[in-house]
Structure 1
Amino acid sequence: MLLLFRTLSKLPLRVLHGIGATLGWLTYWASASYRRRYQENTRIAGLPWAAVRGGIAGAGRMMMEIPWLWMRPADRPLGETVRWHGAELIEQALAQGRGIVMLTPHLGCFEITAQAYAERFASVESPITVLYRPARQAWLRQVVEASRSRPGLATAPATLAGVRQMIRALRQGQTIGLLPDQVPPEGLGVWAPFLGRSAYTMTLAARLLQQTGASPLLIWGERLSAGRGYAIHVYPGPEVSADSAPESAATLINQSMEQLIRLAPDQYLWGYNRYKQPRGLDIAAAPTVAPGERGG
């Protein structure tokens, strides 16, 4: 597998994306459960099929671009592969010195956002710290760790130690990045509306903002057509008050994620099992979302 990753990493991005688009559709038709989940998630979100069908190929492109992203030499800059929109918001937030919490859903290429930020704004002394879950396979764990050992890019495991690491980084005026639409373990989330349905939502993002007073920003990496690279989009993030209840804060962050997703629904991972039940929770505990409570 490691040899395969290295081989694929040498192919042009346009070739990888072309292969990925085909694999995305093959996976969609080969897996009935994946196909049902994809269709159900988009139906609940109230989006027309024409707006979301592109996400099928997009999921395959995401998988095929991983070797290119992870195995790219650290001394090879992204250069013209990345275009920035809203970079001034990052500059303004850095000038405030409060630290930055960068939030992105499973939209577009979320791996590129951390690498692009590290290359343009970070340094060894002041890196961006991203939250991740260590891979179960030993070979993949080694690849991930090596790929993210880049100047200006640090990683924090999804553990108590990792949370403490991120808090320290924010209090030093640094930047952290995480995906708040990732399903958290039992006891580390609350039920909140998300795209027309209640989803078990992490409280970590809001807690980090409340405890450190950091600046919230939204960021996502648009995957450009024909392998032309990526466009990084930055927007103001949700202002979470210090006294907001966990459910209210999680709902606010979910709404901001929805706003990004609805900008480019064809680049969201609709096949992601966002509404799964964390182990140990009673499915009856998930409240029903009324039509008037849907975000967007």
Structure 2
Amino acid sequence: MLTLFRWLSRWPLWFLHALGAPLGWLSYALSPTYRRRFKANVAQAGVSPQAARAAIAEAGRLLTELPYLWMRPASQSIRPPVSVDGLDVVEAAHARGRGVVFLTPHMGCFEVTAQAYAERCSASHGPVTVLYRPARKPWLRELVDTSRTRPGLAAAPATLAGVRQMIRALRRGEAVGLLPDQVPPDGMGVWAPFFGRPAYTMTLAARLVQQTGATLLLAWGERLPHGRGYAVHFTAFDDMLAPPGVPAEQAQAESAAAINRAMERLIRQHPQQYLWGYDRYKTPRGAEAPQED
């Protein structure tokens, strides 16, 4: 597999995206479970099948672009071009001196958001630390560990040590990034509405803000058509987390719900690039699923 990844990384992005589109449709056609989950999640969100249809091919492009993004020499800038908007929001957040927490849903190319920040902002604000879940297969774990660590970009495993690493980064005034719509292990989340259905939602983002005073921002990497590159968008987090003084359990639920609402708005604006096949409503091992009406 490493040999295949190295071979694919040499091809231009337009070729990899052209290869990924039929792969996405092939997965959709051959997996009844994936197809049912895709359709159910789209319906739960109230998105029309026509609006979400393009996401089938985008899921394939998500896979085939990884060798290009992971194995591209760190000395090279991102090619094709990556445009960035919202840097003024990022600069204003850093001016507060408490660090920045970027929230990125499973939408578009979430790998490129951290790379774009690292190339443009790490020289003045330090590296960005991204949270990731270590792969189970040894060959993939080694590839992910080495490819996600590059100049201006550090990786933190989804463990207690990784959380401490992120807290230290924020206290230095640096940035961290995580995917808040990723289902956390039991004990690291709460049940909160996501498109009107209870979803086990991580509490880490709100806890990072509570402990460090960091600023929450939203970020996502739009995949442009025909392999023309990416557009990375940074925007303010307009919802309110639970205020100080609220009981801990209530605060966790309110903050998780606020973060989910922010994710919902982003996804509804760009449903064609959301990973609808992701098992967002699964129950973590050991957790008790809530009673649904």
Same fold (TM over 0.5): yes
For residue 180 of structure 2, give the secondary structure of its aligned residue in structure 1.
Answer: coil
2:273: which partner in 1? 267
Work out which of the residue numbers 244, 256, 260 in structure 2 matches 1:242. Answer: 244
Q: CA deviation at 1:173?
A: 0.4
How has the CA–CA distance of structure 1 residues 286 and 221 changed in structure 2, closer, same or farther, with 3 Å as cutoff? farther
1:83: which partner in 2? 83
2:23: which partner in 1? 23
TM-score (normalised: structure 2): 0.95
Alignment of structure 1 residues 175-194 onto 2, 5 Å: 175-194=175-194
1:111: which partner in 2? 111
Letter in 2 for 1:169: A
Q: Structure 1: any 5+ residue segments left out of the alignment? A: 289-296
Q: CA deviation at 1:242?
A: 3.4
Q: CA deviation at 1:149?
A: 2.2
Equivalent-residue separation in structure 2 for 1:286 and 1:130 (angstroms): 34
Judge conservation of contact 2:131–2:156 (CA < 8 Å) in 1: yes
2:285: which partner in 1? 279
Equivalent-residue separation in structure 2 for 1:6 and 1:198 (angstroms): 41
Which sits farther off after the overlay, 145-154 or 110-119? 145-154
1:229: which partner in 2? 229
Which sits farther off after the overlay, 21-30 or 207-216? 207-216
Equivalent-residue separation in structure 1 for 2:217 and 2:116 (angstroms): 15
How has the CA–CA distance of structure 1 residues 15 and 286 changed in structure 2, closer, same or farther, with 3 Å as cutoff? farther
2:154: which partner in 1? 154
Q: CA deviation at 1:124?
A: 9.9
Work out which of the residue numbers 252, 256, 259 in structure 2 matches 1:253. Answer: 259
Deviations 1:168-223, CA, capped at 9 Å, x for gaps? 11111000000000001011111100012110000111111111110110000000
Which sits farther off after the overlay, 24-33 or 78-87? 78-87
Judge conservation of contact 1:171–1:212 (CA < 8 Å) in 2: yes
Judge conservation of contact 2:94–2:125 (CA < 8 Å) in 1: no
Judge conservation of contact 1:124–1:153 (CA < 8 Å) in 2: no
Identity percentage of aligned residues: 60
Judge conservation of contact 1:199–1:286 (CA < 8 Å) in 2: no
Q: CA deviation at 1:281?
A: 2.3
How has the CA–CA distance of structure 1 residues 55 and 133 changed in structure 2, closer, same or farther, with 3 Å as cutoff? same
Q: Number of aligned pairs?
A: 287
Q: Structure 2: any 5+ residue segments left out of the alignment? A: none
The alignment status of 1:46 with 2:46, answered yes or no, reads yes
Q: CA deviation at 1:134?
A: 1.0
For residue 121 of structure 1, give the secondary structure of its aligned residue in structure 2.
Answer: helix
Equivalent-residue separation in structure 2 for 1:122 and 1:230 (angstroms): 19
Equivalent-residue separation in structure 2 for 1:66 and 1:58 (angstroms): 13
Cα RMSD for the two superposed structures: 1.4
The alignment status of 1:142 with 2:148, answered yes or no, reads no
Q: CA deviation at 1:123?
A: 3.8
Equivalent-residue separation in structure 2 for 1:214 and 1:114 (angstroms): 17
Judge conservation of contact 1:124–1:152 (CA < 8 Å) in 2: no
Judge conservation of contact 1:201–1:250 (CA < 8 Å) in 2: yes
Q: CA deviation at 1:135?
A: 1.0
For residue 234 of structure 2, give the secondary structure of its aligned residue in structure 1.
Answer: strand
For residue 93 of structure 1, give the secondary structure of its aligned residue in structure 2.
Answer: helix
